[in-house]
Structure 1
Amino acid sequence: MIGTSLCKWTVSYFALAVVWLLLAEGVMVAGFGFPHDDIGGPDTLVIVHIVCIGWLSTAVCGALFQFVPVLVARPLYAERWTLPALALLTLGLMVLLAGFLALGGHFNGPRWPLPVGAGLLTSGFALVVANLGMTLWSARPLPGPARFVAVGLACICVTAAFGGMFSLVLSGTAVGAPWPDLLLSGIPIHAIAGLGGWLTFTAMGVSYRLLAMFMLAPDGDARLGRPAWRAGAAALAVGVVGGVLAPWRASGLNLVLLLAGAAALLSLAAYGRDVLGLYRTRKRRALELNTRMSLLALGSLVAVAILGAASAATGSLQSHAGALVFLVAFGWLTGLVLANLYKIIPFLTWLETYGPVMGRAPTPRVQDLVAERRASKWFVLFFAGIWVATMMLWIDAAPGFRIAVAVVTVATLGLVEELVRARRLADVAEPLRLSAGAAVPRLLVSRN
């Protein structure tokens, strides 16, 4: 990536995403939402949307703006759209959360913020999809990892469309016989497209390139990722299209979900095999901390697949749905994003600071911008807290869940400090820190 143009606002996306993550963890520690309230109640919806939109989607958008051009060897279609997209996503989420809080009775107010917030979010995601979609379109035929991203972009369109319809129903704007059925049958489709397609499938695709790059593993085989992509795309197509076309009966929807789940397990198995192959063929024998922690996140995904299949076989899937969703959102997605941010932010900082002076003066390595031994304890604490919190949800122990999430919050704060230190070059030895006129980068905005 030497010489690659930096997206000016990528670091801003990451910073705002981390703020949302800390807010979500804080309100869970305070006992807000599930498991203290109903899993489908307004308070739980507040947390779900903070995590899925504020934290995960914002971080994923920031990463895609930087790395999609790398995946396809094309410049980003319109970098000037990235800041308006961030503003729309942030404002839309704030308005939407106000609507959920009013719906939950936390203050007296109208419910119009729900459709307004959904509209702003849809506009923000439309800018994201158009920007990244045009970048991908210019690079056809797409390489393997980019095809995952293309499917993910289609899934966020589906997610936003269903979210907009839900907001009309919950606000009372849409009334009539079909709308309650939409809420009942559409929520699984909304979750499949959002968590499964947009977040997980996109993360899988980007991780192919990042893991190969950080482990120095060959990824030039065109077949790499193909079975995982085909099975995953089939799972999403069955789950979304089949869910929409299925009769509005539990049996019809259950059959669709069963078929989609089977295809998803095949996709995850193929993905796991590919990751193992990259690990075996790597040239970097000693794995860096970010890669080791990414493997722990993958372990959480494997646990979700095993526990989900076991719960479905025993008929207890519904009672354990909250624990499984939490493990997906935090053990898999949040763990993977934090692990990669620990490498991406120093990497982008190195490019911005030392790329221009490379060859004119000695420069540090990217690894010199971080202190892995100090950061490793925060990652261990984070994953341990997540797994304990999942276990507490599994056995319905709400106080234990809050204590475990408090541990996770402390670990997150520690990791945030490590990221800030990397951005400020605080761990770079003084002779190399600002050599040949290099300047400390701005904290939240990159120089192009």
Structure 2
Amino acid sequence: MIGASLSRWTMSYFSVALLSLLGAEALMVSGFGFPSRPITAPQTLVLVHLTVIGWLSLLMSGALIQFVPVLVAKPLAHPDLPAVALALLLIGLAGLIAGFLDIPGISSTSMPWLPFGAMVLSAGFVLNLWNLGRTLWSARPIGLPARFVVAGLVSLAGVVALGIVFSLTLARWTTSEVLTTLTAHGVALHAALGLGGWLGFTAMGVSYRLLAMFMLAPEEKRWTSRIALGAGTASIVVLLVGGPACLLFGLKLDHVLVVALLMASICVVLYGHDVVRLYRTRKRRHMELNTRMAAVALGGLGIAALLLLALAALGDVARYIGAVVFLVAFGWLSGLGLAKLYKIVAFLTWLQCYGPLIGKRATPRVQDLADEPRAMPWFWLYFASVGAASVAAFLDTPLVFRIAALGMLVATAGICAELVRIRTLKSVPTPMLPEGVQARPRLILPSLER
């Protein structure tokens, strides 16, 4: 790939992640999984893991292999290792889905899909953890956004470990009483570490840098940011250490989850304060589409946090947890991911196509690669559909949810079409198109050129 600062595999991660999102939304439209099925049903587990691993985790992994070197000003330790990791993650995810489908007898094979998928999936995550961990370690001492990423990667390690335990127990490969107890009562722990620690906390760290970079806002080291880091890290430690300890000693997990929720709430409030400060102190007065949509996504995070606190106070979390998780996954994390992708794809495409031409000829601006008026209706349709689907999930009206999910699917397809237009330089005037191979950068697989 042209440009030494570009990761050759980031766009591959992004492309597969978007296909997984479209697949998950299509399943929701068809009534597969929650809320048409119980939250513990195998179909819901397929939908959850396709969303959390296939979409959000691949999206985050692709972003990290590109932006961790930016955060620490060091090259990625093993530039080609993400390709191997991606292959393992896809094979592992397919095996995991086959294993979930085998639970109710939808498929009947002698292949132990669940442990196979979990092991291969874990190998893929471990490779990325090793690669990113070595890169971060080589850059010590690291800045605040990178510390958020470190805490998120530690959470990922916990999620992977619990996933292996669950798969071995469900496949009856172990009869250990300790592991059986952990499987029976540790699902909430697994979900909290995955959505809150790995995806949520890492997204916070990356967004600190991306929002400041794309809005030209000053990156000041403020006490609110440091306390947000401390509170979020404390929440992760409580889950990683306190959760298993409670289960092993026969204590209720509820108290651990409440303490972790309170710590996470402090983190969210202070993070929100810092984001508002970035918006207010930005030098780029005109907000681009990605920053406006990121603000809407962050609003979804605030609503989800308030709802979760209210439900915890009322003691009614179990009844509505599926709807809250949906709002977190699609209102905040997916909304933020799609908004930032719209800018990141344009930024990476511009670097690849026009970076080598700087000083040699006139080049367009990064924002010239995108057509914001064309894309804006798709983003508004997406967030409106997520809002409608969230309300339908709370009210337990599956048919309304499926109609809203159709809106999400159409909107996501429209956003993907805009990303393809950016990648193929459709909005760039013909006289400003680069010559040669740069004029048609690949959509999924990278060029073999170095």
Q: Which moved more, 1:181-190 or 1:327-336?
A: 181-190
Determine helix, strand or coil for the equivalent of 2:428: coil
Separation (CA, whole Å) in 2 of partners of 1:444 and 1:224: 39
Aligned-pair distance for 1:318?
0.9
Structure 1: stretches of 5+ with no match in the other structure: none
Shift of 1:435: 6.0
Distance 2:398 2:148 in 1: 37
Q: Partner residue of 1:121?
A: 121
* Aligned partner letter, 1:364: P
- In the alignment, the residues of structure 2 paired with residue 70 and residue 356 of structure 1 have an alpha-carbon distance, to the nearest angstrom, of 19
Aligned to 1:402: 402
1:80 maps to what in 2? 80
Which TM-score applies when normalising by structure 1? 0.97
Q: Give the corresponding residue for 1:284.
A: 284
Distance 1:258 1:377 in 2: 39
- 2:195 is matched with 195
The superposition leaves residues 152-205 of structure 1 with CA deviations (integer Å, 9 ceiling, x where unpaired) of: 111111100000010011112122544442123211111121111110000000
Is 1:135 paired with 2:135? yes
Structure 1 residue ranges (4+ consecutive) displaced by more than 3 angstroms after TM superposition:
176-180, 247-251, 435-438, 445-448
> For residues 431 and 256 of structure 1, do their structure 2 counterparts lie closer, same or farther at Cα, with a shift above 3 Å needed?
same
Counterpart-to-counterpart distance in 2, 1:217 and 1:204: 16
Q: Which range is displaced more, 221-230 or 10-19? A: 221-230
The equivalent of 2:57 in structure 1 is: 57
Q: Deviations over 1:380-416 (max 9, x none)?
A: 0000000100000001101000000010000000000
Displacement, 1:74?
0.2
Tell me which amino acid in the other structure corresponds to 2:45.
L
Partner of 1:337: 337
- Distance in 1 between the 2:142 and 2:176 partners? 44
**Distance in 2 between residues matched to 1:26 and 1:420, nearest whole Å:** 20
Q: 1:307-322 alignment to 2 at 5 Å?
A: 307-322=307-322
Which residues in structure 2 correspond to 1:237-252 (within 5 Å)? 237-247=237-247, 252=252
State the distance in 2 between where 1:220 and 1:179 align: 45
Mapping for residues 29-178 of structure 1, pairs under 5 Å: 29-110=29-110, 112-178=112-178
Of 279-288 and 104-113, more deviation after overlay is shown by 104-113
Judged with a 3 Å threshold, the aligned counterparts in structure 2 of structure 1 residues 6 and 20 are, in CA distance, closer, same or farther, namely: same
Relative to 1, partners in 2 of residues 1:347 and 1:112: Cα closer, same or farther, differing over 3 Å?
same
Most deviating of 97-106 and 121-130: 97-106
**CA deviation map 1:276-319 (0-9, x unaligned):** 11111100111000011111110000000111111111122111
For the structure 1 residues 360 and 266, does the alpha-carbon distance in structure 2 shift closer, same or farther, using more than 3 Å as the test? same
1:372 aligns with 2:353: no
In the other structure, the counterpart of 1:186 is: 186
Secondary structure at the counterpart of residue 319 of structure 2: coil
d(CA) in 2 for partners of 1:402, 1:438 = 41
- 2:349 alignment partner in structure 1: 349
Q: Is the 8 A contact 2:182 2:247 kept in 1?
A: no
Contact 1:361 1:435 in 2 (8 A): no
Q: Tell me which moved more, 405-414 or 187-196.
A: 187-196
Structure 1 residue identity aligned to 2:424: R
Return the offset for 1:446: 4.3
Contact 2:3 2:352 in 1 (8 A): no
- Which amino acid is 1:231 matched to? A
* Letter in structure 2 aligned against 1:66: Q
1:217-238 Cα distance to aligned partner (Å, 9 max, x none) = 0004365621111000011111
Decide whether the 8 Å contact of 2:189 with 2:243 is kept in 1.
yes
Question: Which range moved further: 353-362 or 215-224?
Answer: 215-224
1:392 and 1:398 in contact (8 A); partners too: yes
User: Which residue identity lines up with residue 277 of structure 1 in the other structure?
Assistant: R
Q: Is the 8 A contact 1:114 1:167 kept in 2?
A: yes
- What amino acid maps onto 2:347 in structure 1? F
Question: Residues 137, 248 of structure 1: CA spacing in aligned structure 2 closer, same or farther, 3 A cutoff?
Answer: closer
How many residues are matched? Answer: 447
Residues 224, 270 of structure 2: 8 Å contact kept: no
Q: Identity rate of aligned residues, in percent?
A: 50
Of stretches 359-368 and 170-179 in structure 1, the one that deviates more from structure 2 is 170-179
Paired residues of 1:88 and 1:121 also in contact (CA < 8 A): yes
Q: Which amino acid aligns with 2:430?
A: E
